[in-house]
């Protein structure tokens, strides 16, 4: 199955720590992310003095490894598809208006619908509106096991 991953899971994939539950779910399918989630990961890595939930695991690496991971973030490997807003803006905005979703949620749902993918997040649960919208749009939601 194809899977659209959030910024935290993208970081783990680029650290070569793809969670086994994501790997099992996709079983050879494609990994993709959205522009907003990619932007959020890139933004978190620009200030080395600011260590948060996204940048922390990368900041803890030795300098050489950290530079390599940041290079992987900057160049985003071909193994991770970037679903462009060029094709998503119209349908994502429609989904956003229909279900009262913010940009991140509407883009994620639009990307999943457009690519026939599941949505996977590092969080144990999605915001209620996105979860309900995904169910209504027949989009599978994946989260870490308890």
Residue ranges of E strands in 1-146:
2-5, 31-34, 80-83, 117-120, 141-142
pLDDT of res. 146: 85
Exposure letters 60-84 (e unless 16+ CB within 10 A, then b): eeeeeebeebbebbeebeeebbebe
CATH classification of the domain holding 52: 3.40.50.1010
pLDDT of res. 15: 92
pLDDT of res. 60: 85
Domain containing residue 39: 2-142
pLDDT of res. 125: 83
Number of domains in the chain: 1
pLDDT of res. 59: 84
Exposure letters 131-145 (e unless 16+ CB within 10 A, then b): bebbeeeebebbeee
pLDDT of res. 84: 92
Are 105 and 132 in contact, with CB atoms under 8 Å apart? no
pLDDT of res. 142: 95
How far is 58 from 45, CA to CA, in rounded Å? Answer: 8
Radius of gyration, alpha carbons of the chain? 15
pLDDT of res. 3: 98
pLDDT of res. 106: 97
In this prediction, the residues of the chain whose per-residue pLDDT falls under 70 are: none
């Amino acid at each position: 199955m194809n899977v659209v991953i959030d910024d935290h899971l993208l970081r783990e994939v680029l650290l070569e720590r793809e969670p086994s539950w994501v790997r099992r779910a996709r079983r050879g399918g494609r990994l993709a992310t959205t522009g907003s989630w990619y932007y959020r990961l890139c933004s978190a890595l620009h200030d080395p003095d600011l260590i948060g939930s996204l940048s922390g695991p990368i900041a803890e690496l030795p300098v050489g490894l950290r530079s390599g991971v940041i290079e992987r973030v900057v160049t985003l490997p071909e193994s991770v598809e970037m679903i462009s807003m060029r094709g998503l803006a119209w349908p994502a905005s429609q989904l956003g208006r229909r279900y009262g979703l913010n940009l991140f949620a509407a883009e994620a749902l639009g990307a999943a619908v457009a690519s026939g993918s599941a949505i996977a997040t590092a969080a144990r649960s999605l915001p209620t509106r996105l979860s309900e919208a995904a169910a209504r749009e027949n989009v599978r939601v994946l989260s870490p096991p308890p």
